[in-house]
Amino acid sequence: MEDVRVERARAWYRSGRYGEALELLARARADERQDLDVPLLIAVCRAALGDPAGVPGALDQGLELLLTRCPLALLPLDPLEELVGRGQGTADPGPTRTDFADHRARRALRLLHAGRCHEALDESEAALGLNPTYVAARLLAARVSLMLGQTEAASGHLMQALAVHPEYADLLAWLGLARARARRFAEAATALESALRVNRRFARAARLQAVVEHALARTGEALRAARRSILWQRAGPYIDPAAVRASDGAVHDDEADLLRAIAVHPSYPDLHLALARHRRLEGRWMAARQACRRALALAPSLPQAAFELSRIELGLGKPDRTIQGLATVLRSRPVWADAHALLGRARHLAGDPAAAEGAWRMALDLAPEYSAARSGLGWTLLRQGRAAEAAVEFARSARSGELAPVAHGLLDPVAAQAARADPEVLDPPVLESAHPL
């Protein structure tokens, strides 16, 4: 939790009370509770008071922190990641599905919070082995590598992710930090400038940029970046991690915590998306749609939000809208198994089993162990009168233990054929995300 004196000093700087801000910062520094904001605030306050001689020393201290502090203290996780990472405690991250990339990535995040960095790196790399395009796992592997002092490995992960997502500001900011830790300051400055072009009010990137510009002996640019970071940064509430439990689907049990976080961070699309997921699981479909549309208004190109809205539309009985929304999602993320599986379900419910079969099979090509998709394929084959083929798919799905109970009674092709008279029995089960982006 941020030292309250630092937050107050930031407010006093904004209101022109530079001397009082410096007094508070001196006490914060004496207590050794400082972070990168402390030397940057000292530098801009001294410059504002006409004391340029005090600026280089403060920025030197900032550079030392940049090179030595824990990377997560320099580029903190966003609120949603904090809640997911701490949601099940840090003593034991618990079991995980080894064949699901998102389960392994979430376990890696919890291991990171527990300080078990080597294990966290192993889990994040295992997630990438299952889904090499999983950008969240790639960013996590880069973060953990940087915490272990592996700057080149971190840069490698980030460059791979940026080849697919060149406009992802967080990736660019972490690349800037990785290159700064390797003392490649000119390259760090380029990465941070790119991050700020993508997100024009990215306070954390501007904070790093200030120190990097100082390392390049560009004091004027350093002070400008420091001022921007202070003006852009917003105070955030402390959210007790124990009060918010995150499931493997990153769904929050306590809506009040999400609403409090949104009140302070209204422009964070991930928080609105988490709220949409929470409401969907409660069956509050219209409220979920509203939250998801807000997330998309803030981040129109966010594929997870477009996917969630497609899922909500299906829950509202609008498979045609789901199909239309997923067409957009799959243009940008053609190898997302979940999107193909949801498309299979939507086409099945829209009365087009032949097209649904193609979508289910594409999902299984991408994730052969995706048992819910295999079960869905069985239902679609059954609707087409192909009971023997359906029985094979049901049997393969049943080996995972996740087959819907009614399907166990349909493993016999004769029983399956008889069940075709009941259309409600032939609807595949609702899918929950097993292979997200």
Residues 120 and 153 in one domain: yes
> Which of 344, 340, 298, 339 lies closest to 319 in space, CA to CA?
344
Do 228 and 344 belong to one domain?
no
Assign 238 a pLDDT band (cuts: 50, 70, 90).
Answer: very low
Give residue 234's pLDDT. Answer: 59
Task: Answer yes or no: do 434 and 342 share one domain.
Answer: yes
> Among 359, 317, 318, 324, which residue's Cα sits nearest to residue 342?
359
Residues 6+ apart with CB under 8 A from 330: 336, 339, 340, 343
| Alpha carbon separation from 97 to 103, 399, 435 (Å, rounded) | 6, 14, 11
pLDDT of 245 reads 34
Tell me: do 56 and 185 sit in the same domain. Answer: yes
Structural domain includes residue 109: yes
Enter the pTM of the model.
0.55
| Per-residue pLDDT tens digits for 50-74 | 998 989 999 999 999 899 888 877 7
In this prediction, residue 78 carries a pLDDT of 55
What's the confidence (pLDDT) of residue 399? Answer: 63
Same domain, 370 and 223: no
Mean pLDDT rounded to a whole number for the chain = 79
Domain end call among 165, 183, 208: 165
- Domain end (from 165, 195, 215): 165
The answer on pLDDT for 358 being more than 90 is yes
Q: Give the CA count within 13 Å in the CB-facing half-sphere of 310.
A: 29
* 317 part of a folded domain: no
Q: Examine residue 10 and state whether it is found in any structural domain, yes or no.
A: yes
- DSSP H helices, 233-302, are 255-264, 269-281, 285-298
- Is residue 18 within 8 Å of residue 54, measured between CB atoms? no
Report which of residues 5 and 387 the model is more confident about. Answer: 387
Any domain includes 210: yes
Cβ–Cβ < 8 Å for 211, 179: no
Q: Using one digit for the tens of pLDDT, what is the confidence trace for 165-200?
A: 888 888 999 999 999 999 999 999 999 999 999 888
Residue 264 lies in a domain: no
Q: What pLDDT shows up at residue 106?
A: 83
- For 91-139, the pLDDT digits (tens) are 444 445 566 777 788 888 888 877 888 998 999 899 888 888 888 888 8
Residues in the chain: 437
| pLDDT beyond 70 at 31 | no
Mean pLDDT value across residues 236-252? 36
Percent of the residues in the chain that have a pLDDT greater than 90, as a whole number: 36
Say which residue the tokens 């997560």 belong to.
Answer: 72
Task: Over range 19-27, report the average pLDDT.
Answer: 85
Question: Same structural domain for residues 92 and 54?
Answer: no
Higher pLDDT, 260 or 308: 308
The pLDDT score that the predictor gives to residue 226 is 93
Whole-number pLDDT of residue 412: 44
Q: Which amino acid is at 399?
A: R
The residue-averaged pLDDT of 250-276 equals 76
The answer to whether position 260 is within a domain reads no
What pLDDT, on a 0 to 100 scale, did the predictor assign at position 287? 93
Domain end residue (candidates: 209, 235, 261): 235
Domain identity same for 86 and 207: no
| 241 occurs within a structural domain | no
CB 286, CB 270: distance < 8 Å: no
- Of the given ranges (128-142, 301-315, 363-377, 419-433), which has the lowest mean pLDDT? 419-433
Query: Which residues on neighbouring strands pair with residue 106, listed in sequence order?
Result: none
> Does any domain span residue 252?
no
Which among 96, 93, 137, 95 has a CA at the least distance from the CA of 115? 93
- Please check whether residue 323 is in contact with residue 343, taking contact to mean a CB–CB distance below 8 angstroms: yes
Residues 350 and 371 in one domain: yes
Based on the number of CB atoms within 10 Å of its own CB, is 380 exposed (0-12), middle (13-18) or buried (19 or more)? buried
The residue range of the domain holding 226 is 1-69+167-235
Query: What's the pLDDT at 167?
Result: 83
Domain co-membership, 35 together with 93: no
In the prediction, which pLDDT does 373 show?
87
Of residues 56 and 232, more confidence is placed in: 56
- State the pLDDT at residue 93: 45
Same domain, 19 and 149: no
Nearest to residue 93, comparing CAs of 113, 107, 112?
107
Q: In CATH, what number is assigned to the domain containing residue 371? A: 1.25.40.10
β-sheet bridge partners, residue 246: 252
Q: Tell me, yes or no, whether 133 and 46 share the same domain.
A: no
Of residues 227 and 30, more confidence is placed in 227
pLDDT at position 362, please? Answer: 93
What pLDDT does residue 434 have? Answer: 41
- Summarize the confidence of residues 322-335 as an average pLDDT: 91
Residues 140 and 225 reside in one and the same domain? no
- Report which of residues 411 and 281 the model is more confident about: 281
User: Is the pLDDT confidence value at 246 over 50?
Assistant: no
Number of structural domains (the chain) is: 3
